[in-house]
Amino acid sequence: MTAIVKIYDKDGNAVGEVLAQCDRTWVLSGYGQTDFNLDYGNTYCREDIVRFGNYVLISADSDKIPLWVGTIETPRNWMADGINIKCYSIEWSLKNRVGPKNYKTTGTCADMLTYILNYANNQGSTRISLGTLFAGGSSMTETLNFTPLYDDIDRIVKRAAFDWGVDPVIDDHGKLSFQFNLWESRGEYHDSPQLFEGKTIELVDTPFSEEGDLWNDVTGYGDGATWASKPSYEEKVQSSISKYGLRQHGKEFPGDKDLKTLQKNTEAYLATYTEPRQKFVVNVVDDGDIFYYMRLGNSFPIKLHSFGFGKTERFGFSGIVKIFGMGYNDDDNKIMIVTQAQDDTGE
C-alpha cells in the first residue's frame, strides 16, 4: 500500500499530490517525523513544490490510520533515481520561532500558551490558531528569554502535567491551517479493544522496559530573594522508601510563593517518580476496528504473559496503558504503539 501525500505552500494552498511509501510517527506532546522518495520524472519534483517550509498532509488508503501533518525540512538527499524528502510534524515548526527577551509572565498554562501563540503570530503568521485550551491548573511564573517557542511550550506544559498538540484544519476552499490544543489529559479510555500478547499485538525486540528517575523524598521550593525567604515543602512516600531506599531530590517551582500551592505542586510532582515508569512497545495488528482506537492519548487494558515481574505469577503484566507515541508503515500495515502503564492490576 502507499500513502497519499498532499503538498501545500506556506500560505496553505494545495500545490501537489503524490503517492509514496511513508514510515511516519506521532508523539504525544511532541513531534513526529517521516520521509518519502520522489522520482526525478514525477511532475511534482520541482523546487517550488518540495520547498523547505511547505506543508504535507499524509493520509492512508483507510481512515483507520490518523492523518499526519507537518513541514518539509532539511536534509534533502539526492539519490540516483530521485530525492528523499524529510518532514517533521507541525509541532516542530515552533522551533523556528523565538519568544521575547527576558519576559516574565505569570498565569495558568493556558494563559501562557495564549500569549506565546499570539506573540508568534504577531511576528508573522504560523497558520496555527488557538483551539481548545484546558483552562485549569495552578498559576505559575515563567521567564521567556529568546529561546525557541517549542522549547518554552514543552517546558510549560510539562510543568503543568498536561498534554498538547497541533491538528490540521481544511477550510471550505481547501486551504490548510492548524489548531493548537491543550488538554488536561489527551485521549479517552476504552474497555475494548483489549491488547493481548499473541492475539491483537505482536512483540518487538524489547517490548517492555522499566525506566526513568526514581525518587521518594522531594523538597519543593518557590520564589524568594534569598534562600531563607524561599518557601519550601518536603513530601515523602514511605512505601517507596521502604521498597527502594531513600532517594532525595530538590525541585524549583518558579512563581510559587504560597505554601499551599507549593505543597500541591510538590505532591503532584513526586507522585510521578515513586515507581519506575513502565514502558511498552508493541505492534498492533489490523483486527476489526482496532486501528480506529489507536490514537495519541487513548488508553486500554493490556495483558502480557511473558514480560514484567508479576504479582501472583512470576512473570506477566495486566493493567492500563496510555499511548504516548505511534508509528505506521504502509507496507506492513501495523501500528507500532509506545505506551506507558497508568495502572497495574497484577498478574
Tell me the C-alpha distance between 42 and 20, whole Å. Answer: 12
Same domain, 9 and 86: yes
Q: Exposed, middle or buried by CB within 10 Å (0-12, 13-18, 19+), for 246?
A: exposed
Q: Write out pLDDT tens, residues 152-167.
A: 999 999 989 999 999 9
Same domain, 179 and 116: yes
Residue 328 in domain? yes
The CATH number of residue 45's host domain is 2.40.10
Tell me the C-alpha distance between 91 and 167, whole Å. Answer: 9
Tell me the C-alpha distance between 144 and 161, whole Å. Answer: 19
Are 59 and 176 within 8 A, CB to CB? no
Q: How many CA atoms lie within 13 A of 18 on its CB side?
A: 23
Query: Helix (H, G, I), strand (E, B), or coil: what is residue 308?
Result: strand
Residue 18 in domain? yes
Give whole-number Cα distances, 191 to 45, 188, 264, in Å: 46, 10, 31
pLDDT for 287 equals 87
Give whole-number Cα distances, 86 to 23, 31, 206, in Å: 11, 13, 27
Same domain, 297 and 199: yes
Q: Which domain holds residue 238?
A: 217-271
Query: If we measure between CA atoms, which residue out of 92, 90, 98 comes closest to residue 55?
Result: 90
Residue 213: DSSP 8-state: -
Count how many domains the chain has: 4
Residue 292 in domain? yes
Per-residue pLDDT of the chain (347 residues; tens, 9 = 90+): 789 999 999 999 999 999 999 999 999 999 999 999 999 999 999 999 999 999 999 999 889 999 999 999 999 999 999 999 999 999 999 999 999 998 999 999 999 999 999 999 999 999 999 999 999 998 888 989 999 999 999 999 998 999 999 999 999 999 999 999 999 999 999 988 788 888 889 988 888 899 999 999 999 999 888 888 899 999 999 999 999 999 999 999 887 888 888 898 899 899 989 999 999 999 999 988 999 999 999 999 998 888 888 777 788 888 899 999 999 998 889 999 999 998 655 45
pLDDT for 123 equals 95
Cell readout for 3 is 500513502
Q: Exposed, middle or buried by CB within 10 Å (0-12, 13-18, 19+), for 346?
A: exposed
Same domain, 201 and 289: yes
Using CA atoms in the order 138, 114, 127, 72, what is the torsion angle rounded to 10 degrees? Answer: -40
Q: How many CA atoms lie within 13 A of 140 on its CB side?
A: 25
Same domain, 133 and 170: yes
Residue 197: DSSP 8-state: B
Domain final residue, candidates 91, 124, 153: 91
Same domain, 8 and 75: yes
Rg (CA), the chain: 23
Same domain, 155 and 119: yes
Q: Exposed, middle or buried by CB within 10 Å (0-12, 13-18, 19+), for 201?
A: buried
Q: Write out pLDDT tens, residues 263-280.
A: 988 998 999 899 999 999
